Structure formats: C-alpha cells, structure tokens
Amino acid sequence: MTLIEGIYDAPAKHILVLSGHVHLDSYAEVHRADGTTINYVVITATGGSVRPGDYHGFRVVMLTANGGMDIMGDGPYNTRHASFDLEGVHVYYTKGPHAVSMALNITGTNVTKLMEKTVVAVSLPSSYVGKKIHVELVNLDSYKLRCTPLGCVLYAYTNKPPQEGVVYKAIAYTMPDEKPPRITLSSIYPPRLIQGRQVVLEFHVTDDSWGIERIEAKLVYPGGEMKLVPALIGSTVRIVVRPLRT
C-alpha cells in the first residue's frame, strides 16, 4: 500500500511508472482528480521468453524540463508492439586460441536512429596482457585498446550511425590466421538412406587459430535447394535433413 499511496499522492504534474515482468508492451494513463496524469509503461523483455508473435526489445523515455515526455520505440507507444525490435540486432562473438572477434549486424529495427556512432566492444582474455595485439577492422575506422591486470577491452568505432544490413567487425589477435578450419564427417544416421525418413549428420569442426564465427549449411538437389539449420555443440555440428515434400 505504501507504494500505491506514493504513486497516487505524489505532488507532481506528471508521474511515470516503469515496469516489466509480463514480457509484453503495455501502456495506460490514469487521470487524477487534480488534473495530473499517471503514465504506466510496461515493456517487453530484453531476455527470457516472449509470447508467439512478440519480440524482445526495449523502449526509450525522453523527459524534458517543462514536463514533456516522449516514449520512443518501433511502434506507437500505446500498442502491443511498441518497443524497439531487438530480433533484428545480431551479434556474433568468436573466441579462438589466438584471436577474439565481435561482429554486429542490425536489420529491421529503428533503433539505429538513436545511435550517433557505431561502437563494437571486444573483451580480451587476461592472457593477452603483455602480448603484442594486432587489430583488424571491417567497416570501422578507429579503435582504442584499454588494458588492466584483469584483461583488455578493444573499442572499435566509426563516427557514423550503423547502416542496416552492414556487418561491423573487430578482430584482436596475437597470431595471424593462416590455416582454414577443418571439418570432418563423423557420423550419419541411419547409415543407409531410407526414403521418407530424416537423416542426421554430425561433423567435427576445429580451428587452431581464430576460431569459427558461424556455420551455414544448405542442401542442393535437382530442381532446388533448402537452407539447413546447424546446431553447434562444442566442436560437433549436428544437421538434421528432413524428407523433401513433393
């Protein structure tokens, strides 16, 4: 009751109540008898589960000195899909024996309109301290390397907002990557192909330098092709090929 009384009795022109938990965008206004307004803003989740058809996201609330308020997102503030859509923000972190990298790709969201510049931060292991660190940038202009006894962080950036569909990447390495990754078929089940039955393929994938950023696979057959979804478990890649529908 103390919280509820504090919200309703607060001497203010505008009262803003922010919350999450329900993993769903929601907005409501309560007008008090004295003419002031209580604004309730609930956002969807940045992590955890969401309902089918919803997405992970966040909102930005801008307040001005004269009492104005702007609730920013990908949709109208009082709709179910009002948050900035994070499903279109893709980040790939790769760590190998001699290199770490971070890649950023943003698509299908208006969150870029809030960004004055593009920054990619890469956390480096403590073993990098004292070693000569080389840096490679993709679509980024400059970088700063900050180290403490606990480890180093590479900040790579460009003084321009990110462009949709462009991949920004920063790589820090202590040894050059001179050998390609190795992939070996380790098992196939069932061992004999049976018409109308799915096939499970397992591969062993290793790289002794920079590591593997991501794995893509597709099935090419007479008359078409099908994109496959690999599952990476340690150094094992599992691919399920389902029967083709004719």
pLDDT in tens, 106-137: 998 888 888 899 999 999 888 887 888 899 99
Predicted pLDDT of residue 125 = 84
**CA triple 72-75-77, angle to 5 deg:** 55
Q: Is the pLDDT of residue 181 over 90?
A: no
Residue ranges making up the domain that contains 164: 87-173
SS3 102: strand
Rounded CA separation 116/137 (Å)? 19
**CA triple 7-18-44, angle to 5 deg:** 150
Is residue 124 included in any domain, yes or no? yes
Average pLDDT, the chain: 87
pLDDT greater at residue 82 or residue 9: 82
User: In sequence order, what are the beta bridge partners of 238?
Assistant: 202, 231
Instruction: Report whether 236 contacts 204 (CB < 8 A).
Output: yes
Buried b (16+ CB within 10 A) or exposed e, 161-188: ebeeeeebbbbbbbeebeeebeeeeeee
- pTM, two decimals, is 0.68
CATH (domain of 116): 2.60.40
Domain identity same for 20 and 51: yes
Q: Which of 163, 164, 168, 165 is nearest to 154 (CA)?
A: 168
Cis before residue 190, ω within 30 degrees of 0?
A: yes
Tell me the pLDDT band of 103, cut-offs 50, 70 and 90: very high
Instruction: Report whether 210 contacts 171 (CB < 8 A).
Output: yes
- At 199-237, the pLDDT tens digits run 999 999 888 778 777 788 998 988 888 888 888 777 789
Chain center to CA of 134: 26
Tell me the pLDDT band of 160, cut-offs 50, 70 and 90: very high
Q: Is the pLDDT of residue 165 over 80?
A: yes
Domain identity same for 212 and 149: no
Is residue 246 included in any domain, yes or no? no
The neighbour count for residue 224, using CB atoms within 10 Å, is 8
Last residue of a domain, one of 173, 193, 221: 173
Mean pLDDT calculated for residue range 82-87:
92
Last residue of a domain, one of 47, 82, 117: 82
Domain identity same for 92 and 77: no
Domain identity same for 115 and 168: yes
Instruction: Report whether 69 contacts 61 (CB < 8 A).
Output: yes
Predicted pLDDT of residue 245 = 67
Mean pLDDT calculated for residue range 133-143:
95
Tell me the pLDDT band of 1, cut-offs 50, 70 and 90: low
Rounded CA separation 90/68 (Å)? 33
Rounded CA separation 230/214 (Å)? 9
pLDDT greater at residue 179 or residue 244: 179
Last residue of a domain, one of 173, 190, 205: 173
Predicted pLDDT of residue 141 = 95
Predicted pLDDT of residue 8 = 66
* Residues 216, 220, 226, 230, Cα dihedral to 10°: -30
Domain total in the chain: 3
Predicted pLDDT of residue 203 = 93
